[in-house]
Every structure is written in structure tokens, then in C-alpha cells.
Structure 1
Amino acid sequence: MICFENVSVTYDGEASPTLKDIDLTVPEGELVLLVGPSGVGKSTLLGAVSGLVPHFTGGTLHGRVTVGGRDTRTHPPRELADLAGTVGQDPLAHFVTDTVEDELAYGMESLGLAPAVMRRRVEETLDLLGLAELRDRPIATLSGGQQQRVAIGSVLTPHPKVLVLDEPTSALDPSAAEDVLAVLQRLVHDLGTTVLMAEHRLERVVQYADQVLLLPEATMGPPADIMALSPVHPPVVALGRTADWDPLPLTVRDARRRAAPLRARLADQAPAPARQAPGTTPALTPSPLPDVPSSTRAGGFSLFGRRREAGAPGAATAAAPDPSAPLVSVERLAVRRGRVEALRRVDLQVRAGETVALMGRNGAGKSTLLGTLVGTITPASGTVRVAGLVPHATDPRTLIRQVGLVPQEPRDLLYADTVAAECAAADADAGAPPGSCRALVAELLPGVADTTHPRDLSEGQRLTLALSVVLTARPPLLLLDEPTRGLDYAAKARLVTHLRALAAEGHAIVLATHDVELVAELADRVAIIAGGEVVADGPTAEVVVSSPAFSPQVAKILAPGPWLTVEQVEEALR
């Protein structure tokens, strides 16, 4: 169905090709998973299948790519639309219409399908992806995960023979991800659809793959064979390597069947103590910053046009923080968006040095809660205080010295033409020594050249650059919304190391995420939000182990033991 013949892709201005000498064949009716570190060319390979590379992206393609017998060099994307459906990393770039139902129908309208057929397929897709309650909603009002499901649905309705998916579950909660992957498996098994998918959260998808393609080596084979040699692998494989299991398990079920001896070895042990207990580090008093120019991005405030002149009504000045008081205090918070009650009766406290994860299904209210903490959303009732300030009533130039937000869409914080220019602007905005942001980028995102344009980075690389921009200011409170979208395991490990160091210095971190493995490694506490309410709030081990949906792979394999991460098991075995 898909054939690459000696394919290389070189983008303008790049000294070396992004893809080099790729030869592979993807048979009809198989799900092939692309794996590899961030930036090795997975998105480029997917774009070559859909015709976006080079017709839309530019650059030079050598060799030949055929899809269903059509040569992508002579067939631009519009001539492949009936054959291949594509969902990129950024669902917002995918949408054409304003509402969910219209977006699901748009692709079929473009192909001239009969109205009766369109109506039936829209209804089927709404049910398959759990979108029926959202059919009339404006797409702009949906959460990131809901938008991702709509984007996937819009390419399913035309019934393409080939699906090209780039990080399709990155913004989905665990249950929604399982639903989407189950739909894909049905399409592959029942209808013979060919699926080519890139995904960094391998713990979700590797068990569904018929074959795995490892880049940059372009080695393709059965999942177990590729996982045995891949530097990128899920926790279940890492645990299998630690325990010397052969063959390596790919699923929690397979691992549990073999884990009895390992559970026995760990029975009389407990995970190593966590780092310094939250609340024992004095609250940070941020160093004075220079006057913040109106163009600054720190904390993301320039996104919303909320800057006031100094001394404007409603502006507040920062008082000296009380070391004994919580850095964040939320009491009986309620937020309304039109007729929707996005949050209700929310209570939350976060102390200096504490890392709190907000979890819950898509649309539960996690991003809304972060918005109230950074002052971009005004509560309907209740109180919100950050370092003694009321965020929505505080001059942003004062507030950004206390809190920084990295939103779901990293491009919202990036506007310069090069990585070097972004870093220089971040240093100036934060009043940091020159080179501070660039050093962070080098730590979290090694190998990226100063002259690279941010739009030429992968989604995970752009996110890391945006993180570096905000981290340069070292705010006492750091808010992260889906901070691991598009990050491979190595990049995520570097981020975890840096965030742990910040927490040890007394910075408070609140992250909204669906990444259960990140939460297991990083969070002190987990607050689960459902229907706009906090339904659980407690230590990570207690909350996630008791929840099948939010439990990490190691916890499921070694239950009822208290183990959450491979790192804990390795330390115990040593």
C-alpha cells in the first residue's frame, strides 16, 4: 500500500538530509508504529506519505514514494485526499470549519459524497469517538484533547484506505486514548485500513502495532524485536530489561504473568524516600526584575492582551511572602463559561517546593484552573491567591514575577525567527544574564542550532523551547499544561531532572497532564478533577495506584506493592 524507494528529504538551508536512503514497504491492512527520538524525521516521513512533503513544506525529495500506486511527486495532497487521511501534531492547524459536526462533514463534502452517506458517517463517528455531546459545540471552546478527537474523526469520516497519524493520543486522557486506539484497531482488522502512526507514548500503543519502524535506522520488524534494540521504549520494556526477562513483554498482562519472582524479591523493601518533603523549603522571594516591556512573553500574558499601565485601577503590588503560608490558595472556586460551569467548589493549596499534578478526562477543567492561577480567567465566585496576590486583579508586570505559564500550544510563546533570538528575548524579559535561556535549551534540547526557525522544530522541540523561555525567569510558581506532548523518553527524563531541581530549590510546580508515567516520576500530590470538581487529592502513590485509569505501568505490574517507576525498582535491586 505504501512504498518508499531510496527516499531522502533535505530541507532548504539544512546541510544534511532529515531522511536518508529510506527503503520500506507497508502492506495493506497493517498498523505500523514509527518510533525514535524527537527530531529524527518521523513527521517528515509521515508528510511524505500524505504528499505534504515536499509540496507544502518545501525542500527536496529524492527517490520515490507511492501510496496505493500513486506517486506523491506527481500527485499533490489534494489528489491523495480520497486515499490518505492525515492528522498532524497540531489539531488547530487542521480545522476548516467552526463546529464539531461541520468539521466531521467537511472532508466528505469536498469529495462530493451523497448527503445521506455523510449523515450516517457523521453519526457513526460521533459515537465511535465519544463526541455526540459535543456535536454543536464551537471547536474553539473545546479542550486540547477534545480538539484532537475531532481532528481524528474528521479524517475517519471519508473512509480513507490509509491513515497517517502524528502523535494522535498525545493530548488525550488514558480512557479516550484507549477508545481511539480501539477504533483504529477495528479499522485495521475489519476494513483493511493501513495505519502509519508516530507516537512517543509507547506504553499506550506498542501492543496494537503489527510492525514497528525505528528511525533514523529505518529498521522495521515485529514490535518485540524492535523494542529489544530500540533506545526508545515504554516502562514495561525497561522493567523487563531490568529483570532480564526474555522475551521482553509489551503489555502489562504479559509482564504480570512473569513478575512473581520480582515481586517476591521486592516484598521486604520499600521505594527509596522521596526528595526533601514539600513545605520544608522557605518560599522563594523572586529577585527584582527590570521593568517588563509590553512585548514580553513571560508567563504567556502577551497572549491575552491583559497588560495594564502601572498604577491602573485593579493593579496590586506584591507583598513580602509569608514562608508559613501556601504559595497557592484556592477556596470554593467557581468558573463559568457561558452556560457551562467549568469549575465548581474547587479547593486547592500548593506550598513552596511542592509538585502537584492535575489529572482528569479531557474537558474536566484542568486548563481552566491553570488559567485562574495565572490571571487570564476571572472566577465567578470563590477566592484565588498566588503569593498573596489575586491573579486576575494584579498588574501582569507584578504577577509574572510570581508565576509563569507554559500553555498547551507552544507557538503561543514563540514569535522570533531563530532559536537564538527567542533565547535572547527571554533573557531580556526575565532580566537574566545573557545566555541563560540558551543554556537551558542546550540542557533540555541538545543539538538544536541557534539559526533554526522555531516553526522548523518538531512539536516536542517547540514545546521544550517554550519551556526554556518561561523557565529562564525562574518564577516561584510554574504552571505547565501538557508539558510532555511530543517529547520522547530521553527528553522527558531531562525535563524531569530539571523540574526536580527547581522543586528542591523551593519552586512550586502545578502541571495539568494525561501522562501517568510523568506523574509517577515527578509529582508529590495528585488532584483528580471530574466535571469541574476535585474528586481526589492526595499523595501520588495513594491516588494513582487506586485508579486503574491513572496508574503507571510499573504499579500495575507490581501491585499490590508501592512501586511506581522503573527507577525505584532499579535502586531497590542495587
Structure 2
Amino acid sequence: MIRFENVSVTYDGAAEATVQGVDFEVPEGELVLLVGPSGVGKSTVLGAVSGLVPHFTGGTLRGRVTVAGRDTRTHKPRELADVVGTVGQDPLSHFVTDTVEDELAYGMESLGLAPDVMRRRVEETLDLLGLADLRDRPISTLSGGQQQRVAIGSVLTPHPRVLVLDEPTSALDPAAAEEVLAVLQRLVHDLGTTVLMAEHRLERVVQYADQVALLPSPGAAPVLGTPADIMAVSPVYPPVVDLGRLAGWAPLPLTVRDARRRAGDLRERLGGQDGTPEVSVVTTAPPQPEAPPTSRLRLRRKARSAPTTAPPAEVHALAVRRERVQALRHVDLTVAPGETIALMGRNGAGKSTLLSALVGLVEPAAGSVRVGGAVPHRTAPPELVRRVGLVPQEPRDLLYADTVAAECAAADRDAGAAPGTCRALVTELLPGVTDDIHPRDLSEGQRLALALAVVLAARPPLLLLDEPTRGLDYAAKARLVAVLRGLAAQGHAIVLATHDVELAAELVHRVVLLADGEVIADGPTADVVVASPSFAPQVTKILAPQKWLTVAQVREALA
């Protein structure tokens, strides 16, 4: 169905090809997973299938890509639209209408389908993706995960023969991700739909793939094989595979169920049914650091340096309305210096709204919010930015320079930091990214890491992160964890909204679960996630009833 014949892509102005030697076939009715570290060209390979590369992106494509017999060099994206449905990393770039139902119908209208067919397919898709309650909602009022489901639904309704998906579960909560993947399985198995998908959250998807295509490094030819064979040699792999490698299991398990069947001996080595690991949790707050200079949250201006003695964040009985939606209800939260907190819960639970309230982007309908003693929505930006920094879900909102070097230089100036501070953070988070590259040419994960470095250059006492691992591979995530741990050790408070249960297990001291705008659980990470079937990490599920959270804990115990 999809055929790559010795394909290489070189973008205008680039010294080397982004991808080269791509030569493999995706048979009809199979799900092929494209994996590899951030920045190796996965999005470029996907774009070549839909014709976006090179017709939209520019550059030179050598070799040949055919989809259902159509050569993408001679067929523009609109001439492939009846065959290929594409969802990129940024769902907002796909939307052309204002409401959910209109967006689901738009693609079918463009293809001239009959109204009764359109109505039936819209209803089916609303039910398949759990969007029925959102059908009349303006897309602008949806959470990032809800928008991602709408974007997926908009390409499902025309019933394409090929689906190309770039990070389709990155902004979804675990339950929503399982629903979307179940829909894809039904399309593949029952309707013969061909799916080519790139995803960094391999713990969610690798077990569903028929084949895996590995891009090991930039410019390297892909390696195609079964999931188990590729995971044995891949530089990126989920925790279940990491645990299998540690335990010496062969073949490597791809699912929690397979791993549990083999884990009896490992549980005994770890101390039997009563064994529990020593989990590092902050019990006393480190001393409050001196207030850093300004960051670039809402504008770039230097602010007067002044110490803050109040807690980094205090929220009492907070309620927030966003148009017709009661986004938060009676939320209480206190954040101590040096504490790392994960806000978790299903899409639309209120996580991003709570972060927005902490940074003054929304005004409370009731209750109070204080950040370092200041009321965020009543505090002038030059005063507020020295207390709190936010990395939003859309990192491009913070990026406006023409090169990485210019972004970093501006961040250092605005923060009053030593020249090279931001660039050092970029190097730590994303080794190999050059100074002259334009931020728009970075992958979604790379742009997020750059935005994080821009904010971190100011070392704000309170750091807010909205889905910070979206688009990051496991190595980049490990580097991010190391940076955030260092900040917490210095006394910086960190609050992150995330669906990444593995990140929460690795990093945070405390988990706050939200549902329908209310706090339903608040406690130490081990207590909250172990008790939750949806939010428990893979290692916890495999080694239950023992309370292990990460492979690193198991490795240390065995050593």
C-alpha cells in the first residue's frame, strides 16, 4: 500500500539529507510503527507519504514514494486526500472550522459525500472517540488532548485507506489513548486500513504494531522487523523492554501481561511479596533560593530583583469558569520550595486551567491564588515573571527569533543570565542541535525543549510545565528529568501537568489527581499511582503487589 524506494529528503539550505536510504514497504491492512530518537526524521518520512514533503515543506525528494499506486512526486496532497488521512504533531494546524461536529464533517464535504452518509459517519466517530458530549463545543475551548481526538476523528470520517499519524497519543490521558488505539486496531483488523504511525510513548503502542521501522540516527537507513526483534537493538524502548533486558528475558516482553508471567523469580530476588523499595521523597523543604531575575513568560523585560518569603504557590477554594464550562471547583493546593508535583487526570479535567490560574492567565470565579505572595492576575508582568515561569503545551508561543542562537541570546539578556546559559541548557536537553537552525524546523519535541531552556535560563522559583514530555524520546526525557531534579534540589518548586505516568514515577514527589475540575486524590507518588489502574507505570503493574515504580529502582536494588 505504501512503498518507499531509496528515498532521501534534503531541505533547502541543509548541508545533509534529513533522511536517506529509506527503502521499505507497508503492506495493506498492517500497522507499522516508526520509532527513533528525536530529530532523526520520522516526521519527514510521514510527510512524504501524504505529499506534504516536498510539495508543502520544500526541499528535494530523491527516490520514489507511492501510495495505492500513486506517485507522491506527481500527486499533490489534495490529489491524495481521498486515500491518505494525516494527523500531525500539532492538531491546531489541522482545524478549519469552529466546532467539533463541523470539523468532523469538513473532510467529507470536501470530497462531496452525500449528507446522509456524512451524518452517519459523524455520529459513529463521535461515539468511537468519546466526543459525543463535545459535539457543539467550540474547538478553542477544548483541552489539548480533546483537540487531538477531534483531529484524529476528522481524518477518520472520510474513511481513508491509509492513515499517517504523528504522535497520536502524546496529549491523551491513558484511558483516551487506549480508546484511540483500540479504534486503530479495529480499522486495521476489520477494515484493512493501513496505518503508518510515529510515537515516542512506546509503552502504549509497541504491542499493537505488526512491524517496527527504526530510524537509529539522523541520515541512517531505517531497519525494519518485528517489534520484539527491533526492541532488542533499538536505542529507544519502553520500560517493559528495559525491565526485560535487565532480567535477561528472551524473547523480550512487549506487554505487561507477558512480563508478569515471567516476573515471579524477579519478585523473589527483590525480596518477596513484602518487599518495597526505598523511594526518594522530599520530606523537608530545602532553603528558599534567592529570587532569580525575570523569565520570558508573558513578555521579555528585566524586572527588579526582590526576595520572596511566601510559599511558591498557594491555592484555596479555587473555582474557574471558562465560557460555559466549570473548569475548576473548590481546588486547594499548596506548593513548597523544592517540591515537584504532577497534576494528572483525564483530558479536560482542569490541569491546564490550574496552571493558567497560577500564572495569571485566567481570573478566579471564586477562591484565591497566590504565587510567592502575589495575586497572579492582578500582578504586573514585570513583577510576576520573576516569581513563575510557564512552558505551555504549544512551545512556539515562546519562540519568535530566526535561529536557536538568537533565541538563546535573547533569553539570556531577558533573564539577566550569563551569556551561554540558555545555550548550555539546550545542549544538555538536545545535544546536536546547531545554532543556525530555525525553531520552526525543529521537531515538536525539540521545540518544546528549546522553550524549556528559554524559561529555565531565568531559574524561576516556581516552574510550571504543561505536558513537558510531549514529543520527547526516552533519552531526552531522561535529560529533562536530570535538569528538573537539579532545580528541585536547589529549592525551585515544580508543578507539571502530564499524562506521562512514567515521568511521574521517575520524577515527582507528589501526585494530584483531578476529575471534572476537582481534586480527587493528593498524596505521595507511590501511594497515588500504585492505587490507580490507569495511572500506574508499567513496572508497578508488572511487579505488583510490591511497590516498585521504575526500572532504575529495580536495577539499584539488584546491584
TM-score between the two structures when normalised by the length of structure 2: 0.97
Partner of 2:57: 57
Partner of 1:346: 331
Q: Is 1:284 aligned to 2:281, yes or no?
A: no
DSSP 3-state at the match of 1:321: coil
CA distance in 1, matches of 2:357, 2:283: 23
How far does the alpha carbon of each residue in 1:505-544 deviate from its partner, in whole angstroms, 9 at most, with x for none?
A: 1000000000000000001000000000000000000000
CA distance in 2, matches of 1:380, 1:4: 55
CA distance in 2, matches of 1:320, 1:442: 30
Alpha-carbon RMSD: 1.5
Contact 1:26 1:32 in 2 (8 A): yes
Contact 1:35 1:42 in 2 (8 A): yes
How far does the alpha carbon of each residue in 1:48-102 deviate from its partner, in whole angstroms, 9 at most, with x for none?
A: 0000000000000000000000000000000000000000000000111111001
Task: Output the amino acid matched with 1:498.
Answer: V
CA distance in 2, matches of 1:555, 1:422: 40
CA distance in 1, matches of 2:449, 2:312: 26
Alignment of 1:430-509 (within 5 A): 430-509=415-494
Give the one of 540, 550, 553 matched to 2:538. Answer: 553
Give the one of 257, 263, 271 matched to 1:259. Answer: 263
DSSP 3-state at the match of 2:24: strand
DSSP 3-state at the match of 2:431: coil
Partner of 2:147: 147
Task: Output the amino acid matched with 2:290.
Answer: T
Task: Output the amino acid matched with 1:321.
Answer: T
Task: Output the amino acid matched with 1:271.
Answer: P
Alignment of 1:71-220 (within 5 A): 71-215=71-215, 216-220=220-224
Contact 2:291 2:306 in 1 (8 A): no
CA distance in 2, matches of 1:445, 1:21: 25
Partner of 2:229: 225
Partner of 2:280: 274
Partner of 2:510: 525
Deviation larger for 86-95 or 386-395? 386-395
Contact 1:51 1:80 in 2 (8 A): yes
CA distance in 2, matches of 1:240, 1:97: 46
Give the one of 482, 495, 516 matched to 1:510. Answer: 495
CA distance in 2, matches of 1:531, 1:7: 48
Task: Output the amino acid matched with 1:46.
Answer: L
How far does the alpha carbon of each residue in 1:168-214 deviate from its partner, in whole angstroms, 9 at most, with x for none?
A: 00000000000000000000000000000000000000011000000
TM-score between the two structures when normalised by the length of structure 1: 0.94
Partner of 1:321: 308
Partner of 1:40: 40
Partner of 1:301: 298
State the 1:273 CA deviation. 4.3
Partner of 2:358: 373
CA distance in 2, matches of 1:520, 1:302: 34
Contact 2:296 2:411 in 1 (8 A): no
Partner of 1:565: 550
DSSP 3-state at the match of 1:283: coil
Q: Is 1:392 aligned to 2:392, yes or no?
A: no
Contact 2:285 2:336 in 1 (8 A): no
Alignment of 1:19-38 (within 5 A): 19-38=19-38
State the 1:392 CA deviation. 0.9
CA distance in 2, matches of 1:338, 1:156: 29
Contact 1:520 1:552 in 2 (8 A): yes
Gaps of 5+ in 2: none
Partner of 2:248: 244
CA distance in 1, matches of 2:320, 2:279: 38
State the 1:217 CA deviation. 3.6
Contact 1:319 1:388 in 2 (8 A): no
Contact 1:278 1:351 in 2 (8 A): no
CA distance in 2, matches of 1:340, 1:233: 39
Q: 1:2 to 1:54 in 2, by over 3 A?
A: same
Contact 1:50 1:80 in 2 (8 A): yes
DSSP 3-state at the match of 1:440: helix
State the 1:318 CA deviation. 8.8
State the 1:300 CA deviation. 2.6
CA distance in 1, matches of 2:369, 2:286: 22
DSSP 3-state at the match of 1:237: helix
DSSP 3-state at the match of 2:23: strand
